Amino acid sequence: MALLPKKLRFWLFDNLSLKTMRYVGAVPRSKATGLVAEVYDMIDEDFFINGSLTSRSKVPELLAAIWSGGRETALVDDRIDRTTKEAMTATLSSINDCPYCGDMLVSLVHAGGRHEDAVQILDEKEQLIIDPTLRERLLWVRAVATPGAEPPKSVPFTEEQLPEAIGALMALSDINRFSHIVMDGSPVKAPFGLEAVKAAALWLFGGELRSTHTDPLKPGRSLYLLPMAELPTDMRWAASHPRIARTLAQWTATVERQAQSVVPEAAQRLVHSQLQRWQNEKMPISRQWVEDETEGLDGEARDIARFALLIAKASYQIDDRIVEAVLGPERDEQRFIRILAWSTFTAARYFANHVARLSLSPYQIKHAA
């Protein structure tokens, strides 16, 4: 049960997330206008305002794109229930080394009433979850998302459920990577290393978020925020689900449009080429691999390509020097958000295709309609 009034509760959550933000700032709710204000209002009504979303607010279209993409794939109860998708993406967040996202999603699993499951996910012990369906799905997430892991022997979703499952993982794969860069860890710490205290805090946090699970969200409510677009051919795995296909198409078009003026074509071509060859294998500890992969470029193009490839393949290898090379002496936050959004989206796009290849037959992908 929530202990704080809703307005105070969500003001506190927003301010806690702002304290962990780095490299960029968020447009304050009180100063938001136009599309940003419209998206903030919808987030406030359907979810809660937090740094994993508002960190893109200085580029309104990218804020709208990540909100719509995440809302329609992960937050809407559809062929898979929302709490299951939050559990799946909490597991994904631990694999992707995003403590901010992971703690928030564990709290949302608590908010959905799955308290014991939330504890096992926080401890990375999904194999101990009692519910056999949820356990199988979370172990499947670990298998498809962990670099170098053995592919799963079965798929715990129907063909009709897969676009939603893959779409939710794609959305949080992007959010994980973006938040890994701009959020300096989770605001919920384990004091003196006492993990039990942190686990209890996340349980309480989940109680405060219970109101976000009270009423199912209206499907498609966010789709009007962005222009219609055509689904790219590499996302045909989503074509059988019109709403998810539409939000992914709009999200893709928005990111590509915003990247045109800031990500050199040579960097885009190289990143796409390298990711097409990558099979989600684990990368070496040394960063020499990314220097080798980008040796055909120089200057800004190489800095951006290096940044994007590290985000996709080994985001834990990114440090301040890598970020500062892209941020540049001008520290233009809008430019940086556009580059970062393109990098995280591109990584998530290839990850989704990797999951689709493991989960759908080539015939199913080719003939999705």
Name the residue among 31, 88, 58, 137 with its Cα closest to residue 333: 58
Name the residue among 205, 243, 146, 157 with its Cα closest to residue 9: 205
Cα 348 to Cα 166: distance, rounded to the nearest angstrom: 10
Phi and psi (nearest 5°) for 331? Answer: 50, 50
CB-CB neighbours of 74 under 10 Å: 24
| pLDDT score of 125 | 97
Task: Give 11-56 pLDDT, tens digit per residue.
Answer: 555 566 567 799 999 998 889 999 999 999 999 999 988 999 999 9
| pLDDT score of 369 | 47
Cα 62 to Cα 74: distance, rounded to the nearest angstrom: 18
How is residue 24 annotated by DSSP? S
First to last CA, the chain: 44
Task: Give 329-346 pLDDT, tens digit per residue.
Answer: 999 999 999 999 999 999
Cα 212 to Cα 9: distance, rounded to the nearest angstrom: 12
Phi and psi (nearest 5°) for 185? Answer: 80, -175
Mean per-residue pLDDT of the chain: 91
Name the residue among 11, 206, 222 with its Cα closest to residue 103: 206
| pLDDT score of 60 | 98
pLDDT band at 1 (very low <50, low <70, confident <90, very high): very low
Residue 7 reports pLDDT greater than 70: no
C-alpha 6: how far from its chain's center?
25
Q: Which residue is listed with tokens 């928030």? A: 104
| pLDDT score of 267 | 98
Cα 161 to Cα 167: distance, rounded to the nearest angstrom: 10
Task: Give 263-300 pLDDT, tens digit per residue.
Answer: 999 999 999 999 999 999 999 999 999 999 999 999 99
pLDDT band at 205 (very low <50, low <70, confident <90, very high): confident
Residue 185 reports pLDDT greater than 90: no
Task: Give 130-139 pLDDT, tens digit per residue.
Answer: 999 999 999 9
Q: What percent of the chain has pLDDT above 90? A: 80
Widest CA span of the chain, in angstroms? 57
The answer to whether the CB of 173 falls within 8 A of the CB of 251 is: no
pLDDT band at 67 (very low <50, low <70, confident <90, very high): very high
